[in-house]
């Protein structure tokens, strides 16, 4: 039974190949899940540009083999891969969020000063002071 799923995959490496039986061209892509073949020329060409990056793809699993059927482009949130949130150890999440909200407010205020015609040097000093306050 074939299983189809959309997932985000890191493209580590690739190699162009030909089938032994009829010489049909295809590309094998090395991923964290192992080597996967792609027989679609358009998707293969697109995926080659993702070497060292993560792409959103359609994968067909048939028995022990997984093949890439289609490349959608940049990795997205709809694919079957969990996003990991990185939080610095020892820093409570509430503190980080609160600080980010205040920093955004101050930077927005400085931007408004520049748009209103305030001295650019004074605005840069204000940005520097706001940044230092949140470090």
Residue 85 has pLDDT above 70, yes or no: no
Number of C-beta neighbours around residue 64 at 10 A: 6
> For the segment 34-82, what is each residue's pLDDT rounded down to a tens digit?
999 999 999 999 999 999 999 999 999 988 889 999 999 988 765 454 3
Place of tokens 């998707």: 43
Q: What would the mean pLDDT of 3-32 be, rounded to a whole number? A: 93
Average per-residue pLDDT for the chain: 77
Domain residue ranges of the chain, discontinuous segments joined by +: 2-74, 93-133
Burial class (CB in 10 A: 0-12, 13-18, 19+), 57: buried
Q: What is the CATH number of domain 2-74?
A: 2.40.50
Residue 108 has pLDDT above 50, yes or no: yes
C-alpha 69/C-alpha 12 separation (Å) is 18
pTM attached to this predicted model: 0.55
C-alpha 2/C-alpha 125 separation (Å) is 62
Q: Which of 57, 54, 82 is nearest to 71 (CA)?
A: 57
Where residue 11 falls among pLDDT bands split at 50, 70, 90?
A: very high
C-alpha 79/C-alpha 84 separation (Å) is 14
């Amino acid at each position: 039974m074939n299983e189809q799923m959309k997932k985000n995959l890191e493209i580590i490496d690739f190699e162009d190949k030909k089938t032994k039986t009829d010489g049909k061209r295809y590309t094998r892509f090395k991923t964290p899940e192992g080597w996967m073949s792609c027989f679609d020329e358009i998707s293969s060409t697109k995926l080659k540009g993702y070497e060292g990056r993560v792409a959103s793809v359609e994968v067909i699993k048939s028995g022990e083999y997984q093949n890439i059927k289609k490349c959608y482009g940049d990795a997205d949130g709809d694919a079957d891969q969990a996003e990991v949130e990185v939080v610095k150890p020892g820093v409570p999440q509430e503190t980080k969020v609160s600080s980010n909200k205040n920093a955004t407010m101050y930077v927005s205020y400085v931007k408004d000063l520049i748009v209103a015609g305030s001295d650019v040097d004074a605005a840069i000093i204000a940005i520097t002071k706001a940044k230092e306050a949140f470090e």
